[in-house]
Structure 1
Amino acid sequence: MAGNSEIDYWSIPLIALNVKVRKSLGLYLNPSNTVAADWANVAEIMGFSYLEIKNYEKHDNPTKKILEDWQAGCKQANVGKLLSILEEAERTDVVTDLIKFIDQDCMNYLKSLEREPPVQVDEVDSWTSGKNGITTNDDPMGHTPEMFDAFICYCQSDITFVHEMIRQLEQTDYKLKLCVFDRDVLPGTCVWTITSELIEKRCKRMVAVISDDYIESDACDFQTKFALSLCPGAQRKRLIPVMYKPMKKPFPSILRFLTVCDYTRPCTQSWFWGRLAKALSLP
């Protein structure tokens, strides 16, 4: 496989590839080509069915769609597998032209995972993020990590609804514990590293507050794709989308297979919070 021998592509999830690389892949694979393999051939190698591929034809950017759906539904959706699929499809031209950009994304992803070496204290879990902790209620020595029922993925423009969520779920009989980044995370930490640890190891679930601004947010995009990568195909109720106001933009396609907790319909608002609380309370 072409590329940087120092990068283990097979260990890097597809979420590492940013918008620029995905757009470039579309420029190569979207046009139908009688000579070279296109997006449909790639989708077939990925394991998509004939009917699924036919449905992708209606999208303006089918390459973008198959990458999102493959990433969400396949445990083997990593950069190494994608490169091998392109080579199997005999699109080494794509790999050759884009590998330097793919390498840069992979290096950026690996850097985002770098952490300070854990303090060597007996009976401290290996994931401990430094002796000072990462959240406001962490044990300063890292012995007792603060745990949460759910990580809240949101944009600053939606903070008013997040405050209502805190009031409804934490300050009532539900007594759930939410991880709200601006409230609970100590300043001075690496955003990407800390959010990854919180979502994967500190929070049972993630609630994504969906809005027009959410769709444009790089941070929300990373958090959502990271959460989906932890549970391909939504085999567990790990990620719960919440829509609290009407949207002008299309609902994120990557979340289309998940049941949405919809606050926009007056007829369902009376049981909205109870339904959400029940989902977050499950083991």
Structure 2
Amino acid sequence: MTCAKAEVDLETIPLVALNMTVRKKLGLYLNPRNTVAADWMAVAEAMDFTYLEIKNYEHLENPTSRLLENWQARSTDATVGQLLSILTKLERDDIVQDLRPLIDEDVRKHCEKQKKSPEPPVQVPEVDSCDPRFSERCAITREDDPGAPEMFDAFICYCQKDFDFVHEMIKQLEQTEYKLKLCVFDRDVLPGSCVWTITSELIEKRCKRMVVVISDEYLDSEECDFQTKFALSLSPGAQSKRLIPVVYKSMSRPFPSILRFLTKCDYTRPCTQSWFWARLAKALSLP
């Protein structure tokens, strides 16, 4: 492919080609909530982001920037051509016309850079001391292997102030005869990934169930709120017993209404503590 403007197929140009100037200008157009013209939320829907993902971008100062970053990280359709197509379909021709000269210049620079870069080797040398290379979407936890993503019995939803109880949970469920495998974000997830995207993938595809550690602090956590609602959306009416609430200390605030229809494990009652861990382990061991 040459870099002549007329010969470049924008559908083949990855979104990463767009520099910060274009991305900032996109934010200036799309970040303000707009009842007349399509804003960043309409663009997110066109990019197939879920309702929960979009809701969790609302608190960001520049949701458009985060949206573009996450789109290019998770979708093979994240190209310059596809972005322009989305803006056109949403009738934001004003953005396309204003930014097209800057976009064309970024594409030209990207093509020139690609042309100067040496072609990758057809075959990896036989002697190679490097670790195996695999995609970021696959390598998201410590023990991921190429072609064999790490799987878990349960994702643990917790806030930082409850971490001592999470440590006890690890001790009781992983280091005993139950030998369950828990996904604890601070321990198991590799740094540098998008929190919302990786969390969604872990809950939906890598973990059979989710344990929610309920406390007063949990009620104020945006991360816990997102994780809980996402897990509930995967199991309407608790048909698969996917989500298990755990209360380990007394609360001064009401139990979250969204979880009231679920049977909980209550560690605060002395009469039930003796079988608390066995009961929870059995629930997490179900197919």
In the TM superposition, what is the alpha-carbon distance from 1:271 to its structure 2 partner?
0.7
**In percent, how many aligned pairs have the same letter?**
65
Picking from 52, 55, 61, the partner of 1:15 is: 52
SS in 2 for 1:146: coil
Q: Does 1:137 align with 2:143?
A: yes
SS in 2 for 1:115: helix
Equivalences for residues 50-199 of structure 1 within 5 A: 112=70, 115-116=73-74, 130=136, 133-139=139-145, 142-199=146-203
User: How far apart in 2 are the matches of 1:190 and 1:207?
Assistant: 22
The structure having more radius of gyration, on CA atoms, is 2
Alpha-carbon deviations, 1:192-239, whole Å to 9, x = none? 111111000000000010011110000001111111111112111011
Distance 1:258 1:7, change over 3 A: same
Alpha-carbon deviations, 1:139-198, whole Å to 9, x = none? 1xx311100000000011111100100010000000000000111111111111111110
Distance 1:186 1:114, change over 3 A: same
Aligned position for 2:244: 240
Normalised to the residue count of structure 2, the TM-score between the two structures is 0.59
CA RMSD after TM alignment: 3.1
Distance 1:11 1:160, change over 3 A: same
In the TM superposition, what is the alpha-carbon distance from 1:105 to its structure 2 partner?
7.5
Structure 1: segments with no counterpart, 5+ residues: 22-100, 119-127
User: How far apart in 2 are the matches of 1:269 and 1:6?
Assistant: 50
User: How far apart in 1 are the matches of 2:176 and 2:210?
Assistant: 20
User: How far apart in 2 are the matches of 1:236 and 1:193?
Assistant: 23
Picking from 210, 220, 243, the partner of 1:206 is: 210
Q: Does 1:282 align with 2:240?
A: no
Picking from 222, 225, 231, the partner of 2:226 is: 222
Alpha-carbon deviations, 1:55-88, whole Å to 9, x = none? xxxxxxxxxxxxxxxxxxxxxxxxxxxxxxxxxx
In the TM superposition, what is the alpha-carbon distance from 1:130 to its structure 2 partner?
2.5
Aligned position for 1:273: 277
SS in 2 for 1:135: coil
Task: Tell which has more relative contact order, 1 or 2 (C-alpha 8 A, sep 6+).
Answer: 1
In the TM superposition, what is the alpha-carbon distance from 1:108 to its structure 2 partner?
6.2
User: How far apart in 1 are the matches of 2:192 and 2:275?
Assistant: 39
Equivalent residues of 1:228, 1:234 under 8 A apart: yes
Normalised to the residue count of structure 1, the TM-score between the two structures is 0.60
Distance 1:10 1:240, change over 3 A: farther
Alpha-carbon deviations, 1:39-65, whole Å to 9, x = none? xxxxxxxxxxxxxxxxxxxxxxxxxxx
Equivalent residues of 1:261, 1:276 under 8 A apart: yes
Structure 2: segments with no counterpart, 5+ residues: 1-34, 77-133
Aligned position for 1:58: none
Q: What count of residue pairs does the alignment treat as equivalent?
A: 191
User: How far apart in 1 are the matches of 2:246 and 2:227?
Assistant: 15
Distance 1:243 1:9, change over 3 A: farther
Distance 1:112 1:153, change over 3 A: farther
Alpha-carbon deviations, 1:13-32, whole Å to 9, x = none? 443464998xxxxxxxxxxx
